[in-house]
Every structure is written in structure tokens, then in C-alpha cells.
Amino acid sequence: MALSSSSSKGPKSSHSSLGAPSQHKQSSRKGKRAWRKNIDIQPVEDGLEGLRAEERVIGSILQKQTDDQLFQIDVHGDDKVRKSLPRYTKDQLTATKILNQRSAVPAVFSRPTGTTKHNAGVKINQADKQRLLRMAKRPVKGPFNTILDPTKFGAGSAIIDVSNAVKNSGGYDAWAPIVGEEVKDGLETVKKATVKKPEFEHPRDLIEIPAISEPHQGASYNPPASDHEELIRKAYEVEQRRVQKAEQFAEVKRQLAQARTLDTNDEINGIPPGMTLDEVTAGEENSEYLDGADAILPKKLPARKTKQQHAKAAKLRAEKQSLAERAAKKRMLASISTIKSLRSEVAKSQQSRDHARLARQQVLRARLKNGLAGTKLGKYKIPEVDIDVQIGEDLSESLRTLKPEGNLFRDRFLSLQQRALIEPRVPVLPTKRKRRMKEYEKHAWKRFE
């Protein structure tokens, strides 16, 4: 690197040829900052620019080229060279000459274009093309060149399409064995452990009720008398259980309200809630607290123990611990002879627990055969099917005067819940927001004179 000094020959240029700012004029050289600030790097820039020009023309720097690449001995000659060389014409524009001087360095692309090998031969199907058009909010044309509106889903002019998750549903098995999947960890090859499927039975597999149950004979428009009476009795039992539960719930609410009123009364009388005072008779009131000597005195703190007392207490604790260890060892030695009896007792108790568990499972299986009616799953309870029955006065003897009873949609929905196909739900109706009316009295209307 060449440093410019004040004694250099020739006038110095104040600006670089490349347009970079420069400060070559210096007033003094006192200190290192003045030297660093007023360094002339114009020769270095000229040399770098020359290297860049060589790289643009040849493709690399001349210093890196070998002799075989730079020189060639022509012995035979070539007649076609003159034809391949461009002819000199005065009519050629200067801009055309500049554009013909193409650089040997390949251009840098920010992203791959459609002509690259990576994207060669890639075709977009019609579904992906429509999806990309919808994402770009471009108009999608339908039959007869009609423009479809993707915002109105399900309308006549909208596109009805399902997601890829719905298209590929049912094709993935989480418990399928993994074949040929290995992980190389250093020098060892570790095979992934297969996940074992849990062997729990789903309640759906144990339910045996049909999807559409046959109605009772007493629900016919012209039923037999015995069947009609039996169906009325069943409906009465169901309604009686419902009334009993409602009465129990009302009783609990009444007790809670009564306890709440007692707490509020105690607070009003100055007594904390949940606390009661005993009634004091006249004799007890006069006999207590007559003399000041009977006043409650504060307890005295225990005196500090001496070293002899601490040693005595430690000795006593050690003796008690040794006695307890002797007793435990004695019990253990005595229990050695009763190991066989203890083992048989443990086996009997385990067997009884197994029998009880199997009995509970059988009872649960028998209950699940009739569905999940009356069982609470999660937050809600699966309701039972209401028995639709008519009294004798409402029965119609012909199909013309028959009145429909029940609701097919409700029966179907309850059947899906009882067969563990859908979770229990309750209808949630929209409610209007209750706004309280606020009344303001203006100052002009406060004085009634």
C-alpha cells in the first residue's frame, strides 16, 4: 500500500475515480489519527478494479491461469477463424457494442426460475391451481366462464372442497409396526422400539343395543290392555324417580338457604358466623371474676436446661431407641415361623380381590350391554329415552285419527349417545344480554319548589 505524502510529485485529486469520498489534503501529520485519516488508497482501488475487469472478461484472474490456458501454439492454422470473427462495421451503435461485451462471470439469481433443472418437468394439477388462485384472491372461472365466489361457502356459485386431512383420513395407523426404521447413533445401530397398542376394551364394543329399538307393544294405536297397562306403569316409575330427585334437590337448596340466613343473623347480632355462645346463668355470672386474684395470668416460659439435663435426656432417648429396636427384632424373629401362614393369607386376600374385580367387571359389562343411559360421562349425563304413552282416553282406534308422538330426531340423537358414538351434549340456547336501566336525576329537577 502506498502512502501519499506532502512531498509527492504532481497535484493530488480530491475525489476518487470510483466516486468514493476521499480526504487527501491534510494540514498536518501530528498524531496517528491524522495519518490514518489522510491515507490515499487510489492505487489500491485501481489495482482491484483491474482484477475485476480481468475476471469479467476471462472468468478468473490472469495470475491464477496456467500457461496452457493463456498460450497456444498454432501449427496448422484454421481457415474458419476469419469467418467466426465479427466484422467491423461503422453502422453498429455504441450501445450495441457495450451490450455485446458479456461478462464471463455467471449472474447471481435471488431465486430459481422456471428454466432451472430443479423445477423442470413440474406440473401443477387443477386442484392446486384453483387453491393457489383462491389464496392469491384471483377470480376463479367455473362452467360457462362464470366467476366463482369463494367467500360464499356452500352457495350455488362457491367452491365446495374438503381439506387434505379429510381426503387422507383413515390411511394412518398409529399402532402399526414400524418396519426397517433404524437410527445410527455413532458406531452403533439402534432400532426404534415398537409401541404396543393398549389392550383396553372400548365401551362401544360391549354395547349390544340396536341402532333403532323396537317400540313397546303398549305404544301401538290399538294396543292390548295388558301391554298398555305395563307401559303406563313403566312411565309412572320413571316419572316418580324424577320427582323424587327433584324433591331431594329442592330439600338441599332449602337447607343451604336456611344456613345462609342463620349466618347473616349471627353477623347482625355481632357474633362471628359459625360461632355460638352458651347461656350464662345469674349465679355463674356472680361467682366468676369477683376477685382480681382469679384473673388469668400469662404462662411462664420454661427455664433453660443445663448440660447435665441435656445429657440425661439424650441418654434416655438412646435407651428408648435401643428398647424399640430390640422389640422390633424380637417380633421379626417370631414372625419367621409364621411365614407360610402369612403367605397363604396374602394369596387368599389377593384371590378374593381378583374375584371382586372380576365380579365388578361382569356387572359393568352386563350394564353396558343395555347402553350408557343414565351414566355420567364428563360434564353431562346421558339421558334416558322418554317413554311416549297415551292414556286410554287419547287412544285412537284407527290410523286416520292417529296423532304422532315423540320426535324421531331426538330419538336418533339419544341412540347415538347411548351407543357411545358421540359425547353427551345439552342444547345451548342463545340468550340476550340483560342491560340494567340507569336513571339519572338532573340538578334542575332536584328542587321541588
Q: What is the pLDDT of residues 81-106, one digit of tens each?
A: 777 777 767 677 888 888 877 888 88
For CA atoms 220, 223, 227, 232, the dihedral sign is positive
Q: What is the pLDDT of residue 289?
A: 46
Question: Hey, what long-range contacts does 373-381 have (CB within 8 A, 24 or more apart)?
Answer: 373/414, 373/418, 377/423, 377/424, 378/423, 378/424, 380/424, 380/425, 380/426, 381/424
How confident is residue 218, by pLDDT bands cut at 50, 70 and 90? confident
**pTM flag (> 0.85):** no
Q: What is the pLDDT of residue 7?
A: 44
What is d(CA 206, CA 229) in angstroms, rounded to the nearest whole number?
32
Mean pLDDT of 400-429: 86
Mean pLDDT of 67-72: 85
Mean pLDDT of 31-44: 70
What lies within 8 Å, CB to CB, of 424 at 6+ separation is: 377, 378, 380, 381, 382, 383, 417
How confident is residue 5, by pLDDT bands cut at 50, 70 and 90? very low
Q: Percent of the chain beyond pLDDT 90?
A: 16
What is d(CA 262, CA 136) in angstroms, rounded to the nearest whole number?
69
| CA Rg value for the chain | 50
- Residue 141, helix vs strand vs coil: strand
Q: What is the pLDDT of residue 308?
A: 93
Neighbours of 389 (CB within 10 A): 19
Is there a contact between 18 and 59 (Cβ–Cβ < 8 Å)?
Answer: no
